[in-house]
Amino acid sequence: MPPTAPSARRDLLAEDVSAVEALRVVVEGVRREPWLFALSVLGSIAWAASIIAVSRAVGWATGEVLEPAAGGAGGGWRAAAGALGVVLGAYLLQAASMLVRRIAGGLVTFRLGATFRRLVTDAYLRLPLSWHRRHPGGQLLSNANADVDATWRIFMPLPMFIGVIFLLVFAGIQIVLVDPLLAAVAGVVFPVLAGLNYWYQRSMSPRAQRTQELRADVSRIAHESFEAGVLVKSMGREERETARFGRSAQELRDAAVSMGRVRGVFDPLIDVLPQLGTLAVLVVGTLRARQGEVTTAEVVQVAYLFTLLAMPVRALGWVLSEAPTSAVGWRRVRSVLDTPGGPARGGRALPGQGGLSVELRGVSHHHEDATGSAALDAVDLSVPAGRTLALVGPTGAGKSTLASLLLGLLPTTSGEVRYDGVPLEELSPEALVGAVVLVEQTAFMFDDSVRFNVTLGDDRFTDEQVWEALEIACAADFVHGLEGGLHQQVGERGGSLSGGQRQRIALARAIIRRPRLLVLDDATSAVDPAVERQILTRLREGTTDMTVVVIAYRMATIHLADQVAVIDRGRVLAQGQHEELLRSQPVYAGVVGAYARDHAERTAEREAAR
């Protein structure tokens, strides 16, 4: 016998892993919903017993009522009514047990889906920013939706699958008790069914995995296209983007069609085999009845039982067809849930009141997907409570990375960040909510009112507080000018607002929470320099108990800061006053000079345009 090819061995191993993983899915689901699952199984067992009861009722009615009636010795309408009552009672038992099985099984499926959607979403919230940067939004949507659905869909046919196992046992005993020869004829069908289901499992497992992966790709590309809609249109790339999505959708369609072809062969075969078994039972049973070995009622009972087995036996195929998809979905869901959420946090609260003093001691950070030098290297930085620090440096110096590290959004490779002398790792996540806030350059807006985008639906804030925050952010005037004022809908991603207006609303969103540490990452880049200076002046005067760290590009911002930190190539070169750094730090002088020249050129262009 020739040795198994490496690719064949990998395929077999993948199938074994899928079977084991599918079993783990079942165990996990039963562990989380034991009582509902037990109820669905009991209903399924009762359903299996009811099918046997129906076949026995039909056999009894044939032998006790129909045969005597055909010979002219019937019991009249009373016997017929009694037979009808027995058969009807058996059918009512079947209907009731089927109802219990389906409702309980459906509840198990939907409750597990809801539970794991929440778990995946909670994992997204706890995972660090570096993890999210490596996983596109479309993939995250697929994990939380399609993959969770695929994982637990197996619980819809699973109770019936268990019931079918009991049904086959009950049916086998019943047929053996009627006639061992008929049982032998019927027994030929079941090994064939088992072999057919095994082939189906082997064929569907790799196809299911490929389809699930492609479904995530389609979701990812669609999400990217929607997110970059303005860019695609402005750059005239509609056709190329459509073609990119089309290729991915075509691959998904081909994979789904491939699964359909296998199912198209399997379903007719799984339907016809019980029918062939019924035909064989009728032929052999007729011969046995002529020989007097069995009665006509017993032949009818066994044949009718086989006709009832046609649909339930398909449940074996349904579970086996869902097993590969469930295993793949579980693998993708677990890849999210098993990802470490960064360094463990303690349970301490923030001490004191007012602005936070912030200190970085030897902080380094290396991006997980980067191969070059560290983004930050042995950074030492100190920001006194209630003071304003401007971070200044050339593009790519590490300013945004440092801002994220200040807030704990990125983990430190080495060193530590301290708030009021307490290491960040010792503070509980709840202690930081609202106490430290980041406002980025790209201001995200929800498709809701101005008020909602400032309060984020928090009913603690009054309209007066909202207007006060908008006033400090220099946004009150333009909000007053909107037709709906605070209740004006801003459109998807704030499409009805300018970039500067979005940034000012985002700044008001942070101010209203009165954070103890506010980090501004180029948060006023779309605002006119005069308005930016006014915003920073109001921010300083109206929030004296707040520590502010601002990534600065304009002289107006730098002059309003108490201190300036110069950062270049991941290192803080110096920290001090503007005039001192201008003399002692060539990097700082070059960056500030470039900003000043750019501002002068823009001012000259505006004057010339007038």
517-521 and 547-551 as β-strands: parallel, antiparallel, unpaired?
parallel
Report the range of poorest mean pLDDT among 2-11, 174-183, 422-431: 2-11
pLDDT of residue 138: 67
Tens digits of residue pLDDT in 353-375: 777 888 888 888 776 655 556 67
Q: Taking 70 as the threshold, does the pLDDT of residue 18 lie above it? A: no
- Give per-residue pLDDT as tens, 134-188: 777 767 777 788 788 888 888 888 888 888 788 777 777 777 777 777 777 767 7
SS3 253: helix
pLDDT tens track for 373-403: 667 788 888 888 888 888 888 877 788 888 8
Task: Characterize the bridge pairing of strands 547-551 and 563-568.
Answer: unpaired
Q: With contact defined as beta carbons under 8 Å apart, do 505 and 446 qualify?
A: no
Please check whether residue 494 is in contact with residue 443, taking contact to mean a CB–CB distance below 8 angstroms: yes
The whole-angstrom separation of Cα 475 and Cα 410 is 31
- Note whether 320 and 221 are within 8 A (CB): no
230: pLDDT confidence band, cut at 50, 70 and 90?
low
* Nearest-5° Cα angle at 348, 345 to 352: 135
Q: How far apart (Å, rounded) are the C-alpha atoms in residues 34 and 573? A: 61
Residue-level pLDDT at 214: 81
323 closest CA partner among 151, 145, 116, 207? 151
pLDDT at residue number 607: 60
**Residue keyed to tokens 């009762």:** 46
pLDDT given for residue 347 in this prediction: 66
3-state secondary structure 17-75: HHHHHHHHHHHHHHHHCHHHHHHHHHHHHHHHHHHHHHHHHHHHHHHHHHHHHHCCCCC
DSSP category for residue 144: I
Residue 558 CA to residue 560 CA, distance in Å, equals 5
Between CA 131 and CA 141 the distance in angstroms is 15
How far is C-alpha 600 from the chain's CA centre?
49
Lowest-pLDDT range of 47-51, 490-494, 563-567 = 490-494
Residues 418 and 398: their CA atoms lie apart, in Å, by 19
**Beta strands 414-419; 563-568: pairing state:** unpaired
How confident is the model at residue 112, as a pLDDT?
A: 92
pLDDT tens, position by position, 110-128: 999 999 999 988 888 777 7
Rounded mean pLDDT, 530-536: 77
The pLDDT assigned to 14 comes to 41
Half-sphere exposure in the Cβ direction for 573 (13 Å, CA): 19
459 pLDDT exceeds 50? yes
Give the least confident one: 211-215, 473-477, 478-482. Answer: 211-215
Residue 551: count other Cβ atoms within 10 Å of its Cβ: 23
User: What is the pLDDT, as a whole number, of residue 344?
Assistant: 54
Q: Which pLDDT band holds residue 610 (cuts at 50, 70, 90)? A: low
* Mean pLDDT over each residue of the chain, to the nearest integer: 76
Single out the residue of 181, 189, 187 nearest to residue 299, CA to CA.
Answer: 181
Interval 539-576: pLDDT, tens: 777 666 788 888 877 777 777 788 888 888 878 888 88
SS3 string, 411-429, reads CCCEEEEEECCEEHHHECH
Per-residue pLDDT for 319 more than 80?
no
- CA distances to 43, 140, 155, 236, 331 from 337, rounded to whole Å, are 33, 12, 21, 40, 10
In 338-435, where do the E strands start and end? 358-365, 376-383, 388-392, 414-419, 422-423
- pLDDT at position 550 is 85
- Which tokens is 156 given? 């819809």
Residue 111's pLDDT is 92
From the list 174, 46, 27, the residue with the least C-alpha distance to 104 is 46
Instruction: Return the C-alpha torsion angle 177, 179, 180, 182, nearest 10.
Output: -130
175-184, 441-450, 476-485: lowest mean pLDDT where? 175-184
pLDDT (average), residues 291-308: 71
Longest dimension (CA), the chain: 122
Backbone angles phi, psi at 606, to 5 degrees: -65, -40
Bridge partner list, 419: 358, 422
Residue 553's nearest CA partner among 500, 591, 496, 502 is: 591
The CA distance from 394 to 379, in Å, is 17
| d(C-alpha 255, C-alpha 265), whole Å | 16
The predicted-structure confidence for 270-283, as pLDDT tens digits, reads as follows 777 777 777 777 78
Local confidence band at 599 (pLDDT 50, 70, 90 cut-offs): low
Strand 547-551, strand 388-392: pairing? parallel
70 pLDDT higher than 60: no
Token code pair at residue 352: 């004191």
Interval 578-589 mean pLDDT: 80
Count the neighbouring beta carbons within 10 Å of the beta carbon of residue 515.
23
Instruction: Count Cβ neighbours within 10 Å for each residue of 213-226 and write b for 16 or more, e otherwise.
Output: ebbbbbbbbebbbe
Asked whether residue 16 carries a pLDDT value surpassing 60, the answer given is no
Token pair for 194: 């088992």
Tokens of 272: 């016809």
Amino acid symbol at 392: V
Dump the DSSP string for 438-457: EE-SS----SSBHHHHHHTT
The rounded distance, in Å, linking the Cα atoms of 517 and 496 is: 30
Could you give the CA distance from residue 521 to residue 407 in angstroms, rounded to a whole number?
Answer: 12
Domains of the chain plus CATH, in order, are: 21-37+115-337 (1.20.1560.10), 358-366+374-609 (3.40.50.300)
Predicted local distance difference test score (pLDDT) of residue 252: 86
Going from the C-alpha of 105 to that of each of 97, 115, 162, 314, 319, the distances in angstroms are 12, 15, 12, 17, 13
